[in-house]
Structure 1
Amino acid sequence: MVDNAVTKPPLGVRVRRAVSRALFIVGGVVTLICVLLPLACWRDDVAIEKRMGEAVAQVDSVAFNRTVVRYATPDGRVIIPSQGILYPDGLNVGDNVRVQYDRANPELVRVAGRSAVLSLLPVGTFLAAVWIVIAAVVTVLRRFRVQV
């Protein structure tokens, strides 16, 4: 007599599969974010290049998440972008730096001569590290039986 009943895999196998799936979902979300970030930088660069203004800015503060600069537009307005400056690597408080900004939106400002290309190396390195860790964890889960 043939039994048509479907048997469930053991709990340990189900847990390993669930963890693997969750890791791949997290990896997919991180990958999506890492693809969108350089695209957003590129979009900002295009906006600046369409209506470019140039000025010399003074660096007021440097923090992990933003570098604040102060610059004057040709009409005499002093601009301090609330979100900071794009591509601020290597700037120090008190430095004077050439900047390019969008004349229609002076809050959108970048260090002159820098572009979204600078975002590719850190984003790519981070993404590679994420997938290496995910691959290592999934490999360990598949090779070794976890008793649950």
Structure 2
Amino acid sequence: MWTTDYRASTNASPDAVWAALEALHSGTRLGPESDDFVLHGPFATGTTLTVTPQGQEPMTSTIVELDPGHTYADRTEFGGLTLTFRHRLTPLEDGGTTVTHVLEIDGPDADTMGPELGPQISDDFPTAMAELFAAAERGVTAGRLRSICAGMAA
């Protein structure tokens, strides 16, 4: 297995960060660099989603871990490898949040492919985290997006 992580903190509460994380994985673009996500069912363990990274072809992922307010993980099968993307939220004493974004690459060729593929995949983690934090600080939520879309359809 090959793994890497990126960790950063925000003044936004864990609830606000979780709401923005759920909004992203439910289809809300948080910023100009966001990947596109299409959720195929409820935001729950076992649900699949289509992920289209910037400038790449769509991939299918499955939500494999969901502990609201604490942990989100999805898994993608890619070229004989298993890519697991995990977000862990840790509350700070001052009300803010530290988020650790982990990429795990597993499979028979993980030890040789991971050092090459992993940095290419995780290169955008700082930008993605900045967009997540900005959205959390703005109060972006999946429910807020749905109400905006419903208002536009009326």
TM range (shorter): under 0.3
Answer 1 or 2: which has greater strand percent. 2
Answer 1 or 2: which has greater helix percent. 1
TM-score (norm 1): 0.25
Please say which structure displays the higher CA radius of gyration: 1
Q: Which has the higher contact order (CA 8 A, sep 6+)?
A: 2
